[in-house]
Amino acid sequence: MQGKIITILIITLLITTALPARSNNDEKVKLKANIIDDKIINEYIPGMFIVKFRDEEIVNSPSIRALNNEYQVISIEKVFKKAENTRLDNIYVFHVPKDENILSIIEDYSSNQDVLYAEPNCIVGVLPVVPDDERFFQQWALNNSGQFGGISDCDIDAPEAWDTEKGESDIIIASVDSGVDYGHEDIASNIWNNDDEIADNGIDDDGNGYIDDVIGWDFCNDDNDPNDELTNPQYGHGLRCAGLHSAVTNNVIGIAGVTWYCKTMVLRCYQDYYNLEYYANGIKYAADNGADVINIEMGISTYSELIEDSVNYAYEKGCYMVAAAGNLNLSVPIYPAAFENVTSVGATNQRDERCDESDWGIGHGSNHGDWVDVAAPGNYLWLLYPDDNYGLMAGGGTSLAAPHVAGLAGLILSKNPSLSPDEVKALICDEEYVDPYSSQYYIGTGRINAYNSLIATPQFNPPEAPDIEGPTSGKVGTAYTFTFNSVDLDGDDVYYYIKWGDGYSEVWDGPHESGVDFKIEHTYKKQGNFTIEARAKDIYDAESDISTFNVTITKKSKTINIPFQWLRNFLQFHPYLFPIIRQLLNI
């Protein structure tokens, strides 16, 4: 394709050099349009095109208004802000109905002698990010090139997604499961650490009711070591699932996780049976201690109000929850997956088919039904095993599909932590973001596509740098009022960190309403030139740039209180002192 484009450009250059000189660049613009037509006929954003005019007045000229009416232009906006008197001024983006023929439109606009150029708003190609993990090229779920009899591109488009977001370390995914070998070489550095707790001091430092809960909690043994146990018939299950969403990525060894840097909170709730009390407490712990995403690895066919209560509690605290649909090849709802506030995940194989008995054996396959929300890869997966081991599981399960969704939620929240659980679910499950699967049974809207979801995720906006108002000069020892005002474009409350320049600070005062003046007094105790520095952050700890404000403080004038009658009598006897006193008192 590159050779084709170069050839076209050379031919174009030869043609233009052979043409006679003209008073405008219409022909040049048309030739550009022809190249665009040939090169990217299906690679531009519908309903949008770019126009540059000779000067600003042209945008409102009768000829342009006529074209705008003809093509039902919806809106016109400048591409660049604050570009006056530069070459980037007078460039506009035009919005028209999406069913309009953009290439035909730009040809008409290009024919106007006052238009310097018109072109589509092209879709920029994505450069996939390829990690160096030893077994990444066998992880078809992340990037399918036909491994294990699969079909190319039947995957979640992880490398394309990583070009947009790899995950942030302050996003926490809770593993409510059988425990995790948290010392495993390929996940250890992605294990959550409770910064408010001091390890092994026997004290509940953070007051959350759990002593020394540095990485999570074991609800089976009621202690602070949530490692899996050999006696567990599902030994290693928690590690296998956690590795899929949070294995350390791009570290040469092992496998790649869906997220590179999101942390895993380890909550051991399963031993050899499902204890509803353990799971309910695990979900509550995750919600109370900062988990953003909760992967609940349990499945029962009995409706439990206790589990639903704990799920709703976590949902109300802003947690996005995921659970497996189950592996019995049935349509019977499984809980907690079937709860309204949990995303129910079915499983697909490397050919984008629902996993069934041909994949997992007689009597097994991904559960299905209208209660399933979405599907994810759940077959032939490379996994972490205890004691720094790795293995390929030829079968699979929906419990291995669910971590892919949990990891995708971690990526979405890394890009925009202000999103609600419902907004995250929509970005993952809505039909416009998923890829189709092949099955006569319903396992949700489609198979997840991480790239589509992340591209659709709105950009997160930190607060603007605060405006600072107040006196620019003053006296030592006098209290002065200063005003700070920061606007958060997402409408979140803001906090202010203020350094007065004299060694004193206000540490994250707030919350304060976005865009509303925050007034505070400060008294300087010494003279000098001081620079006030202020920054704002929102409720998600996204910080603004720093603003500065200069203040000059001088010594306060001393006041001498001398009785007037006494002074007059004194000067009558000592008139020669009058000039000196007059100078001292500045009278």
Active site residues: 177, 237, 399
Q: At 48, give phi and psi (nearest 5°).
A: -145, 145
Q: Are 260 and 209 in contact (CB under 8 A)?
A: no
Which of 22, 24, 41 shows the shortest CA–CA distance to 33? 41
CA atoms within 13 A on the CB side of 252: 0
Number of alpha helices (DSSP H) and beta strands (DSSP E) in the chain: 14, 21
Strand order in the sheet with 479-485: 467-469, 479-485, 518-523
Distance CA 97, CA 315 (A): 38
User: Residue type for 468, please?
Assistant: I
Which of 257, 248, 250, 256 shows the shortest CA–CA distance to 132? 250
Q: Are 122 and 43 in contact (CB under 8 A)?
A: yes
Q: Are 49 and 67 in contact (CB under 8 A)?
A: no
Q: Note every long-range contact of 225-229, with CB atoms under 8 Å and residues 24 or more positions apart, other chains counting.
A: 226/179, 226/180, 226/182, 226/266, 226/267, 226/268, 227/179, 227/180, 227/181, 227/182, 227/183, 227/266, 227/268, 228/178, 228/179, 228/180, 228/181, 228/268, 228/386, 229/179, 229/271
Distance CA 192, CA 172 (A): 7
Cα–Cα separations (whole angstroms), residue 103 to 48, 49, 337, 543, 565: 10, 9, 47, 42, 96
Which of 386, 391, 450, 415 shows the shortest CA–CA distance to 262? 415
Pairing of strands 473-475, 547-554: parallel
Give, for 18, the enclosing helix (H) or strand (E): helix 2-18
Give, for 246, the enclosing helix (H) or strand (E): helix 237-246
